[in-house]
Amino acid sequence: MKRIAITFFLALSIVFVDCKKAKEDLQGGVITFTKGTVKIFDNAGKEKAVSIDTFLLPEDKIETGKDSYADLQLTEGVLVRIKENTSLTLKKIFIDSANGETFADLGLTKGKIFTKVAGKLTKTSKFTVSTPTVVASVRGTEFIVEESGKGTSTRVSDGSVEVADADNPESQAIADAGENVSSNGDTFKEQPLTEDETQELKDDSATIQSITEEQRARIQEILKDFQENKARILQGLEEQKQRNRELIEGAKEENRKLLEEAKSAGKEEKEAIQKAGKEEKEKVKSSMDDAKKELENQRKSLKDQAAPK
Q: How confident is the model at residue 277 (pLDDT cuts 50, 70, 90)?
A: confident
Q: Model confidence over 64-79: pLDDT tens digits?
A: 999 999 999 887 778 8
> Do 130 and 8 touch, CB atoms closer than 8 A?
no
Nearest to 110 by CA among 128, 78, 86: 86
CA dihedral 127, 132, 134, 139 (to 10 degrees): -20
CATH numbers and ranges of domains, the chain: 4-211 (2.60.120.1440), 216-306 (no CATH)
Give the residue ranges of DSSP H helices in 143-266: 195-207, 213-264
Instruction: Give the list of residues 6+ apart from residue 52 with CB closer than 8 angstroms, or none.
Output: 31, 32, 33, 34, 215
Give Rg (Cα) of the chain: 26
Are the C-beta atoms of residues 30 and 146 closer than 8 Å to each other? Answer: no
Per-residue pLDDT at 280: 72
Q: Work out the average pLDDT over 157-169.
A: 80
CA dihedral 281, 286, 292, 296 (to 10 degrees): 160
Provide φ and ψ at 160, rounded to 5°: -150, 155
pTM comes to: 0.65
Residue 12 has pLDDT above 60, yes or no: no
DSSP assignment string, 17-75: S-TTT-SS---SEEEEEEES-EEEE-TTS-EE---TTPEEPTT-EEEE-TT-EEEEEEE
Residue 245 CA to residue 178 CA, distance in Å, equals 64
In sequence order, the β-bridge partners of residue 31 are 72
pLDDT at 307 over 60: no
Give residues with Cβ within 8 angstroms of 138, minimum separation 6. 6, 7, 8, 9, 117, 121, 127, 159, 160, 161, 162
Q: Measure the CA–CA gap between 106 and 111, rounded to whole angstroms.
A: 13
CB of 30 closer than 8 Å to CB of 16? yes
Distance (Å, whole) CA 106 – CA 87: 10
Predicted local confidence at residue 8, as pLDDT: 35
**Between 139 and 188, residue with greater pLDDT:** 188
Query: Looking at this protein, which amino acid is placed at residue 74?
Result: L
pLDDT at 251: 76
Whether residue 55 contacts residue 219, with contact meaning beta carbons closer than 8 Å, is answered with: yes
Give the model confidence (pLDDT) of 77-136 as tens digits. Answer: 788 999 999 999 998 887 666 666 777 788 898 999 998 877 665 577 777 788 888 776
The three-state secondary structure class of 167 is coil
Q: Which residue has the higher pLDDT, 167 or 231?
A: 167
**What average pLDDT does the chain have?**
77
- Residue with the larger pLDDT of the pair 185 and 125: 185
**Contact partners, residue 111, CB within 8 Å, separation at least 6:** 64, 82, 83, 84, 85, 86, 87, 88, 146, 147
